[in-house]
Structure 1
Amino acid sequence: IMVVIEQKWSRAGHLFFRVHAANVGDSRAFLLRRDGSFVTLSADHKPNDPDERQRIESAGGHVKKMGNGIWRLDGSLALSRAFGDFRLKQEPSLPADAQRVVAVPDVVQTFAEPGDILFLACDGMFEARGMTWSGVAALLKESLEEMRGDLPRVAYKLLDSAFTR
């Protein structure tokens, strides 16, 4: 995931931020608004997604649910988009955006205001039991309030929560 934030000023003189997020894979990002709501900035790229699966199979790949319940591309990769994994991007007759694995990002643009929090995390944070989008956002909000905005302590609490679930 990559996020670029631009500082802007409205015509009325109010500070705001333009947020651009691009992601490939299954790391995630969201904006936690001051009111506790959140805006997702990424989407997981998994091989069992119908559009991803169609591209993979059209490129000669296979998608299979493994014994542990995880869907995998060609029995190995649990992602359908990645910057690496070049061995799955070697079909010479296909353009780069039609390979079994592609590096084409999803791009999201939104606005943020002072006091909003940008949260980025790898897939491990969200794969723990109960660590859904809304679960992590609620835990982040609660931790920020409890720890009075002490971001290192908040980060530690979130990591600890993911490890112990």
Structure 2
Amino acid sequence: MGAFLDKPKTEKHNAHGAGNGLRYGLSSMQGWRVEMEDAHTAAVGIPRGLDDWSFFAVYDGHAGSRVANYCSSHLLEHITDNDDFRATEAPGSALEPTVENVKSGIRTGFLKIDEYMRNFADLRNGMDRSGSTAVAVLLSPNHVYFINCGDSRSVLYRSGQVCFSTQDHKPSNPREKERIQNAGGSVMIQRVNGSLAVSRALGDYDYKCVDGKGPTEQLVSPEPEVYEIVRADEDEFIILACDGIWDVMSNEELCEFVKYRLELTDDLEKVCNSVVDTCLHKGSRDNMSIVLVCFHNAPKVSEEAIKKDADLDKHLESRVEEIMTNAGEEGMPDLAHVMRILAAENIPHLPPGGGLAAKRSVIEEVYNRLNPHRESDGPETLLKYSIETNLPRL
């Protein structure tokens, strides 16, 4: 299967925490890829006097994990320790930086870490050609700073709707394409020189060696876009995720799905796990990572929602039993066939954004119980029903 495994690795890395009026949970899963190249950062409280600030990030590595892993441990310090971020500090003081200091410090931090990593021996000698996207949020008591470099993405859910989303850096974007062409490159099949699918990233030094051009004028730029938004009581949650998630869910779909899950459980790790599982069942072939940051106004567990979800599970269990009982002379149907039948039905109250894919574990459990002597589903069958059942957007 080339760059893919024979079957997906579904073991997950989880973490959670709380502080500064926030709760967070995260989940990452290797999926179909031959390596896990994602990384993340979650810090409640920032060193050097910013105890009431927090920082969260997702890094989507490509061609290796070296850059993503280094950034996960060191990007924050490159941001907060540079002079631009701390410009208003007097000797011996711990004043909070201004909005402009923060934005300038973030940009400087990205450029500094990118130049610093260039000197790693394995990167300099071409033994490691890896790069990484970076999407992050830096939260002060009054502001949220959204930081993006690449095609991972972050969204803010406020007052029951998507309030803000970062914009993916794709080579075909007019502004990105102009920079690439000015550096002597081209955009083919929506990739930089027909190869790299992102136009901004950390690392990827093969695309940062055009003589006479500065670091932000190269084929691939390490410069982040930074947006500041004033925090509001109506803020509910922020999602940061790599493109393995966004490939199969839109901003609105993912936010609605997370809202639905938050009404069923306050365990943020479980909410994040359900996202990556559902995206796998929707056909994502990439590594998947998600960080969910909840404010005090996040959706709360609802007994009504729990009952409605339980009723849906019972309905699905009953339908699977009917389909398999009525199979007749054709013999026991495979799971893909069962999923196709259910996908064609108008089933009420399916999870918003997740649809039937979000209930595959319920369906599979009943199927396995009624067909204990089945042959194991191979990768073709797994892909068949994950992709086919996602064709009708439920």
Q: What is the TM-score of this pair, normalised by structure 2?
A: 0.36
Across the two proteins, how many residue pairs are aligned to each other? 147
> How far did 1:161 drift?
1.2
> How far did 1:116 drift?
1.9
The residue aligned with 2:293 is none
Q: CA RMSD in A?
A: 1.4
The residue aligned with 1:142 is 260
Q: What stretches of structure 1 move > 2 A for 4+ residues in a row?
A: 111-115
Q: Distance in 1 between matches of 2:208 and 2:162?
A: 35
Asked if the contact 1:64/1:73 (under 8 Å) is kept, the reply is: yes
Q: Deviations over 1:106-153 (max 9, x none)?
A: 11111334562121111110002xx01111111111111122x22111
Map 1:31-110 → 2, pairs under 5 A: 31-33=156-158, 35-65=159-189, 71-110=190-229
Q: Deviations over 1:91-113 (max 9, x none)?
A: 12111121111011111111334
Greater shift, 113-122 or 46-55, is seen at: 113-122
Q: Which has the higher contact order (CA 8 A, sep 6+)?
A: 1
Q: Distance in 2 between matches of 1:52 and 1:91?
A: 16
Structure of greater Rg: 2
> How far did 1:39 drift?
2.3
Q: Distance in 1 between matches of 2:247 and 2:276?
A: 12
Select the structure that is richer in helix: 2
126, 133, 140: which one aligns with 1:6: 140
* SS in structure 2 of the partner of residue 91 of structure 1: coil
Asked if the contact 1:41/1:108 (under 8 Å) is kept, the reply is: no
Q: Distance in 1 between matches of 2:237 and 2:169?
A: 24
Gaps of 5+ in 1: 8-16, 66-70
* SS in structure 1 of the partner of residue 138 of structure 2: strand
The residue aligned with 1:29 is 154
Which amino acid counterpart does residue 47 of structure 1 have in structure 2?
Answer: P
222, 230, 237: which one aligns with 1:117: 237
Q: Distance in 2 between matches of 1:40 and 1:144?
A: 20
Q: What is the TM-score of this pair, normalised by structure 1?
A: 0.84
* SS in structure 2 of the partner of residue 98 of structure 1: coil
Which amino acid counterpart does residue 273 of structure 2 have in structure 1?
Answer: Y
